Amino acid sequence: MRCGVLALQGDWAAHIGALERAGAAARPVRTATELEEIDALVLPGGESTVVLRLLEREGWMERLVERLRNGLPVLATCAGIILLARDVTPEQPSFGLLDIGVRRNAYGRQVSSTIVPVRLSEAFAGPAEMEGVFIRAPRIERVGPGVEVLGWRGDDPALVRQGAIVAATFHPEITGDDRVHRYFLDVAGGTP
């Protein structure tokens, strides 16, 4: 399976490392051509407004949304989950493919970025918690009926799945605990 990481902005390189540790071949996606050459995609953290602007400028945002709508497996983290969410507060454009509502920067500013344990569902083997690095993270405020919650920060959903979409409000790519990436590769059908 060819796994791509959207590499227009943000911490895409860390995802390539995590995917490789999890046994996948991973590559950056920066062009419309590279988008056609992948079977799964990561939407990394960064700044969702900037990524939207860059995608518009690149001219292949519609094709990206079409591929996602057609079931391209996707792992979205932080800004990535904001791009996919159906409802975003304060309001901003989004792909609307993941039936959740998120509030941007809901846990505070950069200075209040923090590491909090994320409690995992039984879908995950190993320790019941993982380190959750929250960097100006969105908060999931609403979860639709077709969305499974796989991890919590306190009472807040922090890791969710809807079909071939796996999405986290934190950054699982930078702690060295690659269980979210392994889970995603399973979902995407690319486990080695």
Active-site residue list: 78, 171, 173
Pick between residue 173 and residue 190 the one whose CB is nearest to ligand GLN: 173
Distance CA 79, CA 135 (A): 10
Pick between residue 10 and residue 73 the one whose CB is nearest to ligand GLN: 10
How many residues bind ligand GLN, per CB under 6 A? 11
Our measurement of the distance from residue 176's CA atom to the centroid of its chain's CA atoms, rounded to an integer in Å, reads 16
Q: Please list, residue by residue across 26-55, b when 16 or more beta carbons sit within 10 angstroms of its beta carbon and e when fewer do.
A: bbbbbeeebbeebebbbbbbbebeebbebb
Binding piece for ligand GLN, criterion CB under 6 A, among 55-63, 75-83, 144-152, 153-161: 75-83
* By the rule CB under 6 A, 132 interacts with ligand GLN: no
Are the C-beta atoms of 94 and 61 separated by less than 8 Å? Answer: no
Among 15, 103, 104, 153, binds ligand GLN (CB under 6 A): 104
- Token readout for 176 is 């060295």
Question: Measured from the CB of residue 149, what is the shortest distance to ligand GLN in angstroms?
Answer: 20
Our measurement of the distance from residue 177's CA atom to the centroid of its chain's CA atoms, rounded to an integer in Å, reads 15
| CA-based R_g, the chain, Å | 15
Pick between residue 172 and residue 190 the one whose CB is nearest to ligand GLN: 172
* By the rule CB under 6 A, 182 interacts with ligand GLN: no
Binding piece for ligand GLN, criterion CB under 6 A, among 16-24, 42-50, 118-126, 154-162: 42-50
- Token readout for 83 is 């791009």
Residues that bind ligand GLN (CB under 6 A): 45-48, 78-79, 82, 104-105, 135-136
